[in-house]
A and B are shown apart, each in its own frame.
Chain A
Amino acid sequence: MELLDIGIKFILIVVIFLISLVVAMYSTYAERKLAAFFQDRVGPNRAGPFGMLQPLADGAKMFMKEEIIPTRASGLLFIVGPSLAIMTACIGSAVIPWGQPIQIGSRIIDLQVTDINVGILYIFGVVSLGVYGVMIGGWASNNKYSLLGAIRAASQNISYEVSMGLSIIALLMITGTLSLKEITEQQHGWHWNILKQPLGFIIFMVCSFAETNRSPFDLPECETELVGGYHTEYSSMKLGFYLFAEYINMFISSAVMATLYWGGYNYPGMDWVAAHVGPTIAPLIGVAVMFAKVFSFIFFFMWVRWTIPRFRYDQLMDLGWRTLIPLAIANIVLTGIVMTFFK
């Protein structure tokens, strides 16, 4: 029995890993397609029907490309950089509850790899590790543009992590738990946290744009100033890993946002549905709802990217330190006042 449990967990891990890879792969496709639609173009449409095979072609290209390691780059760190970036991106999904426990036969299977009681902190830890991949890669390249990009990434991530953490504190004051599973359970039936924490959500979302290095905060890799940013010297699949890590990060932070603020796998009328379709199908619908939320966030990420121009660096720092942090603190104070006097 013990072995079976481990086997089921293993399968779950593999499935989630594969799903995040596939989602990241098709995010590259979606990004190009959506960019095209936003600009009145067609987008990739040659590989397969509607260009659906484009990500495969891109992946094959990445693997086939010549791998160039600059002579004066530091050999080991140059490889560690992208590996760390993709690894930290992939392990973030472990604590996200994808759905309610599903009943198959007589077994009840948790659709969450692990429900540790410090779920949010784990995600924060992993996200802040992610910047090491960028930092090490930029440093090891021995290139001024890479180094500048890496420095930007590091300072940006550190500044925005502060306000991200502060915005979470207000949320934790309401929920009283760090476990993502419990937070999701609490949001059952229209008690979505977005309704209680709109300001906190906006701060959190802006910070996650900055954390994932997405436009309008994509300064670490801005082409106009820094050639390619921290991955200037990278080629072949190492570059692919960096780009891929960005999309996986986007997927994970979309999932975190959906879980923390938008009710995760909860949807209106889920009790009625659960009573009618049974304990096997109902969790699957919940998973579908969760993914619908995640995909709408990914769409939103891309929508923003093709709308808003990049910040100037001092504006970025200004927004982070002098706007978001005071706002987040004000949000904590407000939440405290409301909790004290209106409970």
Chain B
Amino acid sequence: MEPLSNKRKVIAFKPLNLLERTYLPEIAKGMAITMKHFFKKDVTIRYPEQKREFSENFRGQHSLKRDEDGKERCTACGLCALSCPAEAITMTAAERQPGEENLYREEKYAAVYEINMLRCIFCGLCEEACPKEAIYLDGDIVPTDFLRKDFIYGKDKLVEPPLNQ
């Protein structure tokens, strides 16, 4: 049979000669290899201080976007919740009152918007579904916590900070 690679090596079972039986040459060889690694630069990324850059399409924590005037884009249409395969998103819609035009872009907005980070699988379907370009998974890794209830992120954690003008 034709070998798949040229690396095939026929191994004969032959008894060791005297030098090999002392183990010493092979031990010296092995020690040389470890010594080479001793002086090699390590590849460790010292995590909390030093972070590896995410790839461009990395999906992390969600953020609810504002438009160029600093108004919330979300209109609580519910398409993200509908598209979510893990059913992680819930929201309550409310109507914009007169005088709140600078806060919300359209007449309807999400009074409560919650994502359960333990359920979320970071698939990005909410991003795809959103007609208003209001939600993006462009954040960091979701941090750990001790209680399940603390993983339900409300608008306080999700909405982008207001624009500074």
Please tell me if A155 contacts chain B, counting CB pairs below 8 Å.
no
Please tell me if A117 contacts chain B, counting CB pairs below 8 Å.
no
The answer to whether B44 touches A41 (Cβ under 8 A) is yes
Complexed CA–CA distance, A36 and B37 (Å): 10
Please tell me if A42 contacts chain B, counting CB pairs below 8 Å.
yes
Spot the interface stretch: A84-92, A105-113, A288-296, A304-312.
A304-312
CB-CB under 8 A from B14, the residues of chain A are none
A241 CB → nearest B CB, Å: 30
The answer to whether A308 touches B27 (Cβ under 8 A) is yes
The answer to whether A304 touches B31 (Cβ under 8 A) is yes
The answer to whether A41 touches B31 (Cβ under 8 A) is no
Please tell me if B131 contacts chain A, counting CB pairs below 8 Å.
no
Please tell me if B34 contacts chain A, counting CB pairs below 8 Å.
yes
Please tell me if A50 contacts chain B, counting CB pairs below 8 Å.
no
Please tell me if B42 contacts chain A, counting CB pairs below 8 Å.
yes
The answer to whether B42 touches A38 (Cβ under 8 A) is no
Interface residues of A in 33-48 (CB under 8 A from B): 34, 36-42, 45
Known: A307-B30, A308-B27, A308-B30. A39 touches B35 (CB 8 A): no
A222 CB → nearest B CB, Å: 19
A218 CB → nearest B CB, Å: 16
A296 CB → nearest B CB, Å: 13
Cross-chain contact of B34 among A41, A42, A303, A323 (Cβ < 8 A): A303
Residue of A nearest to B42 (CB): A40
Cross-chain contact of B31 among A37, A40, A42, A307 (Cβ < 8 A): A307
Interface residues of A in 158-187 (CB under 8 A from B): none
Interface residues of A in 5-54 (CB under 8 A from B): 34, 36-42, 45
Complexed CA–CA distance, A58 and B27 (Å): 32
The answer to whether B34 touches A306 (Cβ under 8 A) is yes
The answer to whether B46 touches A303 (Cβ under 8 A) is no
Q: Mask for A273-303, Cβ within 8 A of B = 1, else 0?
A: 0000000000000000000000000000001
Complexed CA–CA distance, A34 and B38 (Å): 8
Known: A307-B30, A308-B27. A39 touches B37 (CB 8 A): yes
Complexed CA–CA distance, A38 and B34 (Å): 6
The 7 closest A-B pairs by CB, nearest first: A307-B34, A42-B44, A38-B34, A307-B30, A40-B42, A37-B38, A307-B31
16 contacts between A and B (CB under 8 A): A36-B42, A37-B37, A38-B34, A38-B37, A38-B38, A40-B40, A40-B42, A40-B43, A42-B44, A45-B46, A303-B35, A306-B34, A307-B30, A307-B31, A307-B33, A308-B27
Known: A40-B43, A42-B44, A323-B21. 20 other contacts (CB 8 A): A37-B37, A37-B38, A38-B37, A38-B38, A39-B37, A40-B37, A40-B41, A42-B42, A303-B31, A303-B34, A303-B35, A304-B31, A306-B34, A307-B27, A307-B30, A307-B31, A307-B33, A307-B34, A308-B27, A308-B30
Chain A residues packing against B (C-beta within 8 Å): 34, 36-42, 45, 303-304, 306-308, 323
